[in-house]
Structure 1
């Protein structure tokens, strides 16, 4: 019974010295449980790859090749087993893997279609900390050698084979000590494949780079120093191509592999592969500490971190700048939505044509009522009979008409003095009206008309009580209605558009425009293979998050001035407080939206489902107080939800600053700022945990 793979001596080490091991793995296990079924991806997998060797790992789809390679980089956590690279444990600082010590080319091209050839190569060159001039010079030579078009060509305009060549250049441009190529030649023509293999062999021979290649083209494996044959998660055999064929007495790699598969089936039918190999000994002499960028010098480590961060930031900025949808939406959509809201919920409507028929004869204090009507809002048109007024209203010439009762003054005095008995009042006066208003439809204009007619009636009653009854207090309402938002009430702003709605809609639309846009941009970037490839090149999730946050804030910062001009100068929003504090709350509101979007984008769901979740969040925030709805009216079990909607608190703070002129000394304002900063930091911390 053979439990470990057949090992045939390799020819990688030609100088007669003791062979050094680049990659060694023992007893690797990975099992998935899905819908009650168990799938074993790696089954006590063992492998040893010499340093400086070009190693081909071949096997059918689903045999575990890609999973194993991802585990070397740290992108896949296994259930059990041990792996050492150059004698050191995975993630050891001296390895610089992930980082400059690795060149990783995944099955997908892992490029960004919006960037050009030069931009994507320069991006990886910056991640690997290659000087810009040196990177451009190398890129030019490699592009010419691999037959690529001009470097200004967009990645999205390239064919599949051309994209793989660009991806190949990004893998080897920094001459790493370990290269992992997952099916690098798929979709390439034979001439290009030959050139790619020349590059692979050159870098291995000239710089001692260890290269691991997976391929479905078995004849390609003849070019390598060693071949490993995988099936169902374990290694069947490994050795040089010539010795493999000699061992099985065949003329091709395909025939040798076919024999191995048959033998493995027989072996598995007798007993499952098992066996435990000894612990791998640590080899501390295969790497020189001086070559690693990680040293005890904290200044050097910080410089390295900043170099990588700037590389990621530059790439993300290019994505945002080249996205026409994002640029148009951030600049025009926010201003358009705020403007439409300010217009629709704008100042009090005026010049409303209202007909009236004064039936009082002789005319006494009914003229007081007519003269008390605000003529800026209501334009009175006099009629002699109701029939004519009714016809004009139906024809659309007037919006409504009113009739004044025959004994207007007498009825008003009776109501104010209760000069008749209560029974008579109930029987006659209470059932008869001083003024009757006729309208065809009820809308905001109707509310405006009723509001100003009521004010005119109150003014008329006050004049009668003062001049006729000599007791003006009789007409005064026992309740003093003080506007909770702003005083004094402006006749031209009955619905507090300037004092409330413009501020609320500015915060609401800016929050949700950037919520939706940031979800889309972040989700698109984080779900692409380029993200994992960037991690393998040494970048971190923190750098990725901060790069997107800074890039997302760039345009809002630039358009914040036009937004402020729009709401203050064009729509005349009240602005009594500090403009800097107003701007700061506006930006804090957007940052809260952006980090919320990032958190939603990390959900492992389809983009459509994520946007549906964002819409649900939008509507729920409105009903939890972000709109013109009091959170105090919510059921007790809903009130804690208001703390996950920062825009609710931001609305209140914006109104306090702009309308009331409050500063940071106001408890509501500084508590809102503290809450938002805490919310942002908490979400960023959660994001880092998720992506790490």
Structure 2
């Protein structure tokens, strides 16, 4: 029992006992019987009360009950009676004395309540990390002719100060237990706490656990959960706990923690849906309401508004500027008319328009002459027949869309005239024929290009966010160390999280793909099963990356910083929003070895090209993802084992 509570607040008392009981290999029936005894003995409230809703003293009693749950042969208790009322404290001590009478159990306690140590078989008085005395309470009282153990401690403390003032050597060399004729044991630095009493209940004459059971020195005794863990690591005859019970407990813990945390549940299932919806609504659509400043100096149309700019349909060559403007895409472009080119350009400079469009005074005549004369057209005719455009290219995407729409408008305008005059409208096309694309369409959607990478990015980094602090939170609560002590291995911890996250990944993947493919009609030509598999694998990869962060970082804020710090480099370098072919050569090689790069290429090939697993671009994505999963898991296991050891 460590000094901190080391329990999960979202569990009820019964669930807490079930968790540790299963870890210790107990059957559910046995746990329930033991639970009823502990509830009555420790005067605990209803077994259905959550730990977080208990008072501090009740929480400490639950922590004590956890230590007693499996009736261990060795109990190491750190401040078990802090915050406990006197009657219950006496009851606890009576119980501890009782269970040691048969000689089959050993209890080691650290406490600041020195007087309660009178019931111990052997006590150790410590100050400033040095063991001052180790003997039975009655022997110390007789030796120092004191009526209380507190007086004994005060005398020993004064003697320690006096000896320290006389000699700068280590106190161990000045006040040895041998010189005081208390014990022949070597002194060991135990703790930096002052006034701590180390207690040992044991009915044999050995002060500590005998060598035949695995020697346990005082340094380990006072190091709470870490000391217990080290002792068990050295034990050769420890009981073997059922793996099934431990996995059952760990899986229940993970699922209950998620289920009872509304914020986490919303984060798991609502956030990916919201991100998909926002992506599909905000990315890939053509801009609307782009203002275009128009100046039309055609004959008799100096003060035009668009509505009064008349033109005759059919094979007519009058007011061609108005006919062209009518062909401009009005869903994208908003036409605003100005008197002079200077005014139109000033509007662009002031940010009032995205571009300026200018028609010369004899635009129609010059354009007709240009078509009629062909190669014989003079410079003035060519100059007067041009539609002059000044664009604001500070926003490249908007500038390119305006260029596209103005060029398409002129192409459609020319085709309409040729068709009305019974000419071959193909003459209006440039002499480059773009046939039906092998993959994709003649009007590609940026959404279709980005969607595969966005799907994987959402799933990957949501998994990172979920797991990057999981182990840190358990470590800070003390629950992780307590699980180590109970015999849980790093592999079992990681396996339980993998199973839990796999279930989450299935739900997240289903929601993301339903909204992306079925609701927003993102193109998916490939096998939907392969799409689901690569998405889930990427989620597992993100989860394993989160474990690496959680294992390495000691503080939650450091884990958050590392997770956020990895987001943008991965997003920018993985070809999600821009082809990696546009990167410098060195950066392309770096990008290839990132977790999302090959997987994004694989998913994009399946969704837009309809390729199967036999294609290298698809196959490599799966292989790379599996390699990253194995690598991240290996790193996590190594780090956890190092920290546990």
Give the TM-score, by structure 2 length.
0.76
Cross-structure match for 1:67: none
1:19-59 per-residue CA deviation (whole Å, 9 max, x = no partner) reads xxxxxxxxxxxxxxxxxxxxxxxxxxxxxxxxxxxxxxxxx
Aligned position for 1:93 = none
1:450-465 equivalences in 2 (<5 Å):
450-460=403-413
Residue range with higher mean Cα deviation, 235-244 or 459-468: 459-468
Q: Structure 1's 246 and 597: CA in aligned 2 closer, same or farther, altered over 3 A?
A: same
Report the equivalent of 2:446: 496
Corresponding residue SS for 2:253: helix
What corresponds to 1:6 in structure 2? none
Match of 2:44 in 1: 148
Match of 1:476 among 430, 440, 448: 430
Contact 1:124 1:170 in 2 (8 A): yes
* 1:213-612 matches, cutoff 5 A: 213-268=109-164, 269-270=166-167, 271-272=169-170, 273-274=172-173, 283=212, 293-294=239-240, 304-348=242-286, 362-363=317-318, 369=324, 373=328, 377=331, 404-405=359-360, 406-408=362-364, 410-411=366-367, 414=370, 417-420=374-377, 424=379, 429-430=382-383, 433-434=386-387, 436=389, 447-460=400-413, 476=430, 486-490=439-443, 495-497=445-447, 499-612=448-561
8 Å CA contact 1:354–1:400 kept in 2: the answer is yes
CA 470–629 in structure 1, closer or farther in 2 if over 3 Å, else same: closer
Residues in 2 aligned to 1:524 and 1:505: alpha-carbon distance in whole angstroms: 29
The residue aligned with 1:3 is: none
Which residue number corresponds to residue 642 of structure 1? 591
Give yes or no for contact 2:472–2:553 (8 Å, CA) kept in 1.
Answer: no
Comparing 173-182 and 607-616, the one that deviates more: 607-616
* C-alpha contact (below 8 Å) 2:320/2:363 kept by paired residues: no
Partners of 1:473 and 1:647 in 2: CA distance: 47
Q: Structure 1 residues 638, 378: closer, same or farther in 2, change over 3 A?
A: closer
Which residue in 2 is equivalent to 1:173?
69
Query: More strand per residue: 1 or 2?
Result: 1
Contact 1:465 1:475 in 2 (8 A): no
Superposed CA offset, 1:625-667 (max 9, x none): 3432343444555455435631233222221111111111121
1:666-677 matches, within 5 Å, as: 666-677=615-626
Give the 3 Å change call, closer, same or farther, for CA 482–519 of structure 1 in structure 2. farther
Partner Cα separation in structure 1 for residue 496 and residue 103 of structure 2: 34
| Structure 1 pair 277–399 and aligned structure 2 pair: CA distance change class (3 A) | closer
- CA 1:385–1:285 in 2, change beyond 3 Å: closer, same or farther? closer
Question: What's the CA shift for 1:444?
Answer: 5.9
State the alpha-carbon separation in 2 of the partners of residues 483 and 232 from structure 1: 80
| Structure 2 residue 55 is the aligned partner of structure 1 residue 133 | no
Question: Residues 522 and 334 from structure 1, CA distance in 2 versus in 1: closer, same or farther, beyond 3 angstroms?
Answer: farther
Aligned to 2:180: none
Deviations 1:503-553 (A, max 9, x none): 332222232233223223343123321100110001011111222222233
SS at match of 1:214: strand
Aligned match for 2:613, one of 664, 667, 673: 664
Q: Structure 1 residue 469: deviation in Å?
A: 10
Mean alpha-carbon deviation: is it higher for 468-477 or for 110-119? 468-477
Q: CA deviation at 1:435?
A: 5.5
Q: Secondary structure at the match of 1:659?
A: helix
Structure 1: gaps of 5 or more residues: 1-104, 295-300
- Seen in structure 2, the aligned counterparts of structure 1 residues 420 and 648 have a Cα distance that, compared at 3 Å, is same
Secondary structure of 1:283's aligned partner: helix
Shift of 1:455: 1.8
**Aligned alpha-carbon RMSD (Å):** 4.2
Alignment of 1:202-221 (within 5 A): 202-206=98-102, 208-221=104-117
In 2, distance between residues paired with 1:378 and 1:461?
Answer: 20
Distance 1:477 1:380 in 2: 31
User: For residues 210 and 17 of structure 2, what CA distance do their matches in structure 1 show?
Assistant: 38
Instruction: State the alpha-carbon separation in 2 of the partners of residues 114 and 481 from structure 1.
Output: 63
Q: Per-residue CA shift, 1:370-409, capped at 9, x if unaligned?
A: 676567x56898999899x99xx99xx9998956553346
CA-to-partner distance for each residue in 1:404-452, whole Å, 9 max, x for gaps?
553346347648944346xx36xx7458732658999979666534322
- Structure 2: runs of 5+ lacking an equivalent: 177-183, 187-208, 216-231, 300-316
SS at match of 2:596: helix
Q: Distance in 2 between matches of 1:683 and 1:203?
A: 46
Aligned equivalents of 1:178, 1:459: Cα separation in 2: 89
Which gives a bigger RCO, structure 1 or 2 (Cα 8 Å, sep 6+)? 1
In the alignment, which residue of structure 1 is the partner of 2:627?
A: 678
Aligned partners of 2:574 and 2:591 also within 8 Å? yes
- Give, in angstroms, the shift of residue 472 of structure 1: 6.1
Alignment length, in residue pairs? 564
3-state SS of 1:545 partner:
helix
Cα contact 1:185–1:193 (8 A) shared by 2: yes
Kept after mapping to 2: 8 A contact 1:117/1:154:
yes
What corresponds to 2:313 in structure 1?
none
For residues 53 and 565 of structure 2, the distance between their equivalents in structure 1, rounded to whole angstroms, comes to 37
Hey, what's the Cα distance between the residues in 1 that align with 2:4 and 2:291? 68
Give yes or no for contact 1:183–1:215 (8 Å, CA) kept in 2. Answer: yes
Moved more, 599-608 or 267-276: 267-276
Q: Distance in 2 between matches of 1:284 and 1:357?
A: 98
1:384 and 1:263 map into 2 onto residues whose CA distance is 100
Matched, 1:192 2:120: no
TM-score, normalising length: structure 1: 0.71
The CA distance in 1 between the partners of 2:585 and 2:597, in whole Å, is 17
